[in-house]
A and B are shown apart, each in its own frame.
Chain A
Amino acid sequence: MLDNLQLLFVYAPVMNVQMILDGIFIGAVFALAAYGLALVWGVMNVKNLAQGDFVIMGGYLAFTANNMGFHPILALPLIAVLMYFYGVVVYKLVIRRVIDNDMFVSLLATFGLSLFMQQVMNLIYGPEVQTVDSHMHIMTMFDDFVTVPMVKVVSLVLAGAFASAIVIFMTKSRTGQAIRATAQDARAARVLGIDTDKVYMLTFALNSAICGIAGVLVSMIWVLQPFYGIVYSLRTFAIVTAAGLGNLPGVIGMSFILGWVEQYAGIIAGAEWQIAAAVFVLIGVLLWRQIQMRRLRQVVR
């Protein structure tokens, strides 16, 4: 451990550049998924524990497209549409029935959904770790100390583009306004003629599509495995809990922080600590929120 620290800060400080860049690349993907979660959480008060499995599912769709000879980026719009309709189906069958119940029910139902999705993907694709080769060249900087695969840059740009598109959609379009109105006060929105059931469906499907996009990016820049979903879910929860709902700059900032924490934990303590680091961030955030609330003699609800 000490050796690794020495390597990072004494012998090759240039490696920090690599860490920070990788943190940003992976953080951008987290930010997409976390924004989707914040959307669903804020609008319909459903805490989607299957968030990570939606991401992995998008990734596996990209993997399938790649096997069929399409480049994942070309298949991306199609995958987003597919995931959108998958979200509609899930909403109609499961989510609609748990919205009005207490929140633990939504949590459990989505956990059941996550278990189901994991196992179906495990049946179809097997438990091996997979990745999609994007056939893009790799840039090197600082005498080959820092490698920047082109695909990561492209995915960062894509994530940014999609995030901005969603923000513009939410603020400018009538549908986006209806979603925001429902989030603020569902009853008032219903009185004013907004079909809230439809808004909920749209929101959940939109979230599913966002996760699908994030999944395509994950498949190109990282690895896929049917059971990795739960860690993505915990990451998005950590990000949203720390940043709060409807706080986009907070979500993006926290995603980058989480990306950096994971990168540094992976290099300093060893690769097996990378997932643990993400979970520790979640627990740390929850602890910090509790201490914050205790000062006001309140609890985290």
Chain B
Amino acid sequence: MNEKLIYIGLGIFGILGPIAFPDYVMQMAVLWIMVLMATTWDITGGQMGYNSLGNITFFGVGMYVSAAIQVSMFYDLGEFTASYGAIKPVFTETQYYTGLILGIIAAGIACAGVALLLGLCVFGLRGPYFAIGTLGIAVAAREIAGTIEVIGAGAGIAMPFLPLPIEYRSLFFYVLCFVLAVLAHFVIRWLFKTQFGLAANAIRDDEDKAEAMGIPTLRYKQVGWAIAAFFMGCTGAVFGNMVGYIEPLEVAFPVATFGIFMVAMSLLGGKGTLWGPVLGAILFHVVKEATWTYLLGLQWVVLGLILIVNIVYFQQGIMGWLQKKYPEKFGIVVDQSNIQVKEEA
């Protein structure tokens, strides 16, 4: 009942939002990207207890893979990047759209593959070592992307231009982001209703016991990360086209900004819950945009402060706090009889 209302509310917002506020379409598109980041991070971070600081790797890899595919299908990639956007090759409509769709799908698949391989290397690490290892991978990916000449090295690639009138541009990418976010949400929702969810939570609670019970933990962790990576890759591909210009430091691998925001958003909303990351992402984005508008120049400082306050003073997140305060609303029954027995004894 409650959930239906949330779906209806978010659906109305998602569909009518860009029509009602045409000036903020781009910001709303970024909002759905933030929702995607937080919900996919939560697959391994919240539900499995593997707190990755490096999921942003897939964002950037997806971006570059899709860019490479979109361009190299019709032009020589090396020549295209060497011109730094000076030569504007014309993509016909069919060329652009087939390139974009193939690019997004290929980016997702490539990232899932990368996650499966990287998973072999990092899932023997626990807790903080896992976080540091994945952070290291993200930084390494950033540095490597800055050295490969074909994809523009440090100077970057200018993406092909959307063959639509300029006023439809942001709407087009908004729809892509929205559809992707909805898709990811329902996949995750379905995923955690199956046995996968039980196994994931078992891994979070006690991995050694889960292993002893015969759960192939490594495979579950790899698959969970690969699903997160798939959506992160698709998101990166869309974001790359949306921004129109890819460069490793700020756009593709923003390790210290989006890479950490996705963790902060999940924590703010309450990690390990279905709706927590969504809620956290929406709240965080609103706060972020507000600081951008009213505290320009200080925005990053304020965001760092919010992050510290959130983590240090408010760790359980909004959903966690609500669950503690109103357990009956979440179907958690506090068994009073048990407590009395203990007191008598």
Please list the residues of chain A having a beta carbon within 8 angstroms of any beta carbon in chain B: 47, 49, 93-94, 97-98, 101-109, 111-120, 122-123, 227, 230-231, 234, 237, 241, 270, 272-273, 275-276, 279-280, 282-283, 286-287, 290, 293-294, 299-301
B131 contacts A104, CB within 8 Å? yes
A109 contacts B137, CB within 8 Å? no
A283 contacts B128, CB within 8 Å? no
Q: Does B9 lie at the interface of the complex (its beta carbon under 8 Å from any beta carbon of A)?
A: no
Q: Does B133 lie at the interface of the complex (its beta carbon under 8 Å from any beta carbon of A)?
A: yes
Question: With a CB–CB cut-off of 8 A, which chain B residues contact A272?
Answer: 143, 146-147, 154
Q: Does B214 lie at the interface of the complex (its beta carbon under 8 Å from any beta carbon of A)?
A: no
Bound: A29/B154 CA distance, A: 28
Q: Does B246 lie at the interface of the complex (its beta carbon under 8 Å from any beta carbon of A)?
A: no
A287 with B308: in contact, given A230-B255, A301-B126 (CB under 8 Å)?
no
Contact of A286 among B133, B146, B267, B311 (CB under 8 A): B133
Q: Please, what's the 1-or-0 string for B238-267, where 1 marks a CB less than 8 Å from any CB in chain A? A: 000000000000000001100010011001
Contact of A105 among B137, B144, B260, B315 (CB under 8 A): B315
Bound: A234/B51 CA distance, A: 17
- The number of inter-chain residue pairs (CB within 8 angstroms) is 133
B136 contacts A283, CB within 8 Å? yes
Question: With a CB–CB cut-off of 8 A, which chain B residues contact A109?
Answer: 308, 311-312
Return A41 CB to nearest CB of chain B, in Å.
9
Top 7 closest A-B pairs, CB basis? A116-B304, A112-B307, A276-B143, A290-B124, A119-B300, A115-B304, A112-B308
Question: With a CB–CB cut-off of 8 A, which chain B residues contact A279?
Answer: 136, 139-140, 143
Interface of B is mostly: helix
Return B298 CB to nearest CB of chain A, in Å.
7
Q: Does B135 lie at the interface of the complex (its beta carbon under 8 Å from any beta carbon of A)?
A: yes
Contact of A299 among B126, B264, B312 (CB under 8 A): B126
B139 contacts A231, CB within 8 Å? yes
Number of B residues near A (Cβ < 8 Å) is: 43
Given A47-B132, A93-B312, A301-B129; 17 other pairs, CB 8 A cutoff:
A94-B308, A104-B128, A105-B311, A107-B132, A115-B300, A115-B304, A116-B307, A117-B304, A123-B301, A230-B139, A230-B255, A234-B135, A279-B140, A282-B132, A282-B136, A300-B124, A300-B129
- Closest residue of chain B to A103 (Cβ to Cβ) is B128
Return B117 CB to nearest CB of chain A, in Å.
13
Contact of A119 among B121, B124, B136, B301 (CB under 8 A): B301
Bound: A280/B147 CA distance, A: 15
Bound: A109/B154 CA distance, A: 30
Question: With a CB–CB cut-off of 8 A, which chain A residues contact B311?
Answer: 98, 105, 108-109, 112
Interface of A is mostly: helix
Q: Please, what's the 1-or-0 string for B297-324, where 1 marks a CB less than 8 Å from any CB in chain A? A: 1101101110110111101000000000
Return A9 CB to nearest CB of chain B, in Å.
23
Question: With a CB–CB cut-off of 8 A, which chain B residues contact A282?
Answer: 132-133, 136
Q: Does B125 lie at the interface of the complex (its beta carbon under 8 Å from any beta carbon of A)?
A: yes
B132 contacts A293, CB within 8 Å? no
Question: With a CB–CB cut-off of 8 A, which chain B residues contact A114?
Answer: 256
- Closest residue of chain A to B305 (Cβ to Cβ) is A116
- Closest residue of chain B to A98 (Cβ to Cβ) is B312
Question: With a CB–CB cut-off of 8 A, which chain B residues contact A299?
Answer: 124-126
Question: With a CB–CB cut-off of 8 A, which chain A residues contact B110?
Answer: none
Contact of A111 among B53, B143, B313 (CB under 8 A): B53
A283 contacts B133, CB within 8 Å? yes
Return A131 CB to nearest CB of chain B, in Å.
21
Return B22 CB to nearest CB of chain A, in Å.
32
Question: With a CB–CB cut-off of 8 A, which chain A residues contact B124?
Answer: 290, 293-294, 299-300
- Closest residue of chain B to A96 (Cβ to Cβ) is B312
Bound: A282/B136 CA distance, A: 7
Return A261 CB to nearest CB of chain B, in Å.
14
Question: With a CB–CB cut-off of 8 A, which chain B residues contact A119?
Answer: 300-301, 304
Bound: A282/B54 CA distance, A: 14
Bound: A115/B144 CA distance, A: 23
